Amino acid sequence: MKLHLGSSSKHIFLAALILVAGSALASSKGSLELQHPTSVAGKQLASGNYTVRWDGTGDQVDLKIYQGKNVVASTPARIVKVETPATSDSAVVIANSDKTFSLSEIRFGGKKFALAITSDATGAAAGAGASGN
């Protein structure tokens, strides 16, 4: 059985296919402000403003943290649902016993999801031990 599509139907189909493929591959982006020097995946980031981008399908994503155009940290993350959206972008940090901080979650103002850092608990411990602080 052959299906014949008119020229305009072919264009609509191609446009829809490109939109679906593009959205599946598109990365998402947000802002991150760190109030204190903070460990992310074993890397120490200075306090300041960063851009975050994540790629992936489903709830498991690859998170990259940028300072300007440079990637300063990358780690796996998980998209988690939040009951009440944050009023503004915010970083959730864990205060470690050695008085350092580790990034645990990134929340986005007005969004019903957050990014939970999935590997920093082991990365921070390894990074703190390796740094000799």
Number of structural domains (the chain) is 1
pTM above 0.85, yes or no: no
In a domain, 116, yes or no: yes
Nearest Cα to Cα of residue 54 among 113, 101, 95: 113
Where in the sequence is the domain holding 102, given as residue range(s)?
27-131
Q: Which pLDDT belongs to residue 102?
A: 96
Q: Could you report the average pLDDT of every consecutive run of 10 residues in the chain (133 residues)?
A: 52 41 59 96 96 93 96 96 94 95 96 86 38 36
What pLDDT was estimated at residue 3?
A: 52
Residue 58 has a pLDDT of 87
The answer to the question of residue 8 being in a domain is no
Give pLDDT, residue 12: 47
* pLDDT of amino acid 125: 39
100, part of any domain: yes
Task: Examine residue 71 and state whether it is found in any structural domain, yes or no.
Answer: yes
